[in-house]
Structure formats: structure tokens, C-alpha cells
Amino acid sequence: MTLDEKQQEIIDEFAIYDDWMDKYEYIIELGKELPIISDENKTDDKLIEGCQSRVWLHTDVVDGKMSFTADSDAIITKGIIGLLIRVLNNEDPKEVATAELRFIDEIGLHEHLSPTRSNGLASMVKKLKLSAIAATS
């Protein structure tokens, strides 16, 4: 599945929910299910301080593909991280660096990635892309 197909899959999954609370119910489930970073990587140098919630991000390149693990102290933030990982993991660094994350807008979560939201997600995406750019050079 291409990166964009993965995005489309998420958009289709969310299309069945017409109520906000149902969408969030699903995001929270994703957040609860995902053990997304190992404890030894959950260190202060991996920490992105948001004003509202905190995010830990660990990036790696495995067999030429990007690999991310991350976590947050807020479960909604964690659920959105789960979606980002699903889209971006195991992709070529170049694909990740240039990826347009349209699913975020289309499922109505753009506010969570706005820099004014201060939950650490916008900075996380920026760092994630920078790590992909670094891996291409």
C-alpha cells in the first residue's frame, strides 16, 4: 500500500462516523491500544514539550525505510500519533519528507496539528520530517 493509499484508508474508516464523539471514541481506542515507544527511548532528549500535552519521538532508519516510535501523556494526542505512524512508517525517507498529510484535514483533525494547539504534535511532525530529510542526504 502506498503512503497515499494508507491515508485514503484512514479517511474511509472515519467516513462512517458522523458524530464527533464517535470519531474521538475511535481515536482514543487507537491511543489505548498502541504501545508506541520503548521505555529506554522515552528520555528527555526525545521529549517535545507542548503547552498542553507532551510528546516523545524516536526516529530511526531500518533497511532504508523510516521507522518511528512515539508516545504522549494525553491519549487523544497518542491516538493521532498512532494514525501518523500508520501512514509514515516503513516508507522511503524521501516519501516521508515530501508527504502531504491530507488525511488529518479530511478527517477533521487539523486543529490538533495547528501550532497554536500546543499539544506537541505540530513540532513532532516537523521533527519527523526533518529526520526523513536527514536520512535522504
Interface contacts to other proteins, rule CB under 8 A = 20-21, 24-25, 28, 51-54, 73-77, 118-119
Which of 75, 79, 62, 65 is closest to 13 using CA atoms?
79
User: To the nearest whole angstrom, how small is the minimum distance from the Cβ of residue 35 to other proteins?
Assistant: 17
Burial class, 19, CB count within 10 angstroms (exposed 0-12 / middle 13-18 / buried 19+): exposed
Q: Which is nearer to other proteins, 38 or 52 (CB)?
A: 52
Q: 16 or 21, CB closer to other proteins?
A: 21
**Residues sharing a CB contact under 8 Å with residue 63, sequence separation 6 or more, in sequence order:** none
Out of 1, 15, 51, 130, the active site residue is: 51
Distance CA 30, CA 88 (A): 16
Q: Is 121 a catalytic residue?
A: no
Shortest approach of other proteins to residue 120 CB, angstroms? 10
- Residue 68 burial (10 A CB sphere; 0-12, 13-18, 19+): buried
Closest approach, Cβ 101 to other proteins, in A, equals: 19
Positions marked catalytic: 51
